[in-house]
Amino acid sequence: MKINANFRALKESYLFSTVGAKFTAYQKAHPEKRVIKLSIGDVTRPLAPVVVSAMERAAREMGDAATFRGYGPDATCYAYEPLLEAVRARYARRGIALGSHEIFISDGAKSDLSNLLDLFSAENTVLVPDPVYPVYVDTNIMAGRRILYAAAVRENGFLPLPDAKVHADIVYICSPNNPTGAAYDRAGLQAWVDYAVREDAVILYDAAYEAFIEGGLPHSIFEIEGARECAIEICSFSKTAGFTGIRCGYTVIPDSLKREGVQLCKMFARRQSTKFNGVSYITQMGAAAAFSEEGERQILENIAYYKQNAAKIGAMLDAHGIYYTGGKHSPYIWMQCPKGMTSWEFFDALLERACVVGTPGSGFGKNGEGYFRITAFATKENTAEACRRMGDFLDSL
């Protein structure tokens, strides 16, 4: 037999595994030190009370023969109506009408970003921004697709626009962006939709951080004219409602999105019925509660908490004259490394001298070199302590 040789083209380990291993090794070697982790975007606020109550209620139903459930309904790829209705209502509040057959409930955006690739030939060319969430790159390397990069640099506000001379079949957009925190406005997204329509491409729009958007920026690609004919939106309860451990996400594939005469939502439904058995009833009821009126109020309190952390980190960097972006529409701060340090030099120095861990920008791509990503998802106390330590460290340089 032969293994999938495409795996040979991958980096030895996934970025967040590499960073996590370095953190663990350092902590083991220095048990007396308390290292603060501002690296992977993992939430720390507890679940909203309405979510907990809904999950308790759902667990009790599962413990009663009269209300026990086995597999979810297969007509909707195992999605329960209350969650479909909650997702439809959230989109409707933005003026977007969705049918249940256009919504797919999953165990999270990371899985669906990969699952969706089953719909596309390995011969397609993929366009990703650089720097980029490594999942877009790794999943396509595993499938053997050709990958092109659009430079996301300070000069374009980390928001590349399409280049008419470059053809791609699959275009990844993440807005607000991971790792840079930059968010597209309507004109920027319209340019990408127009490009996709012209090139017969499909946009995979990662909206995992949409709940962090402030003001009038678009939350969904479907706010843009023409997007229903060229885009798929992938979203998650992880960062929106603290579900990184619970696991729940949703993907929207409009029924008007067709390629070679085939509706992609039908293809995906076919894929899911073969390869997926749904998300637990208890989880789905918790997710539905997160998008209720009271749920949205409670989850916004947690988002405001993280934004206060982001503001604190930003103020510390401002006080030291360090350039950064993000933190406004996003939980990530993308800072320039001081004194011309490379990303990994800064990572090592910050760990050694301040006992703070972040994510080296170069791990997200070559344009990330010289940058560093800090997450605002830690507790308020740890963020304040990390800022104090980072500030002292920057003063000492």
Residues in the site for ligand MLT, rule: CB under 6 A?
16, 40-42, 110, 133, 178
**Smallest separation, CB 106 to ligand MLT (Å):** 13
Contact 374, 313 (CB under 8 A): yes
**Which residue, 23 or 101, is less far from ligand MLT as judged by CB?**
23
**Residue 130, beta-bridge partner list:** 151
**Smallest separation, CB 343 to ligand MLT (Å):** 15
**Which residue, 40 or 224, is less far from ligand MLT as judged by CB?**
40
Considering Cα of 219, then 222, then 226, then 227, what sign does the dihedral take?
A: positive
φ and ψ of 309, to 5 deg: -60, -45
Contact 249, 234 (CB under 8 A): yes
**Which residue, 41 or 129, is less far from ligand MLT as judged by CB?**
41
**Smallest separation, CB 382 to ligand MLT (Å):** 16
Contact 195, 221 (CB under 8 A): no
> For 36, left (φ over 0), alpha (ψ -120 to 50), or beta?
beta
**Smallest separation, CB 355 to ligand MLT (Å):** 20
Q: Does 176 sit behind a cis peptide bond, omega within 30 degrees of 0 on the bond before it?
A: yes
CA distances from 105 to 32, 74, 243, 251, 255 (A): 44, 12, 14, 7, 16
**Which residue, 265 or 279, is less far from ligand MLT as judged by CB?**
279
Residue linked to tokens 């619970």:
246
**Which residue, 175 or 178, is less far from ligand MLT as judged by CB?**
178
Residue nearest to ligand MLT (CB): 41
**Which residue, 40 or 87, is less far from ligand MLT as judged by CB?**
40
d(CA 369, CA 353): 21
d(CA 339, CA 343): 11
**Which residue, 80 or 377, is less far from ligand MLT as judged by CB?**
377
Structural tokens at position 361: 């920008």
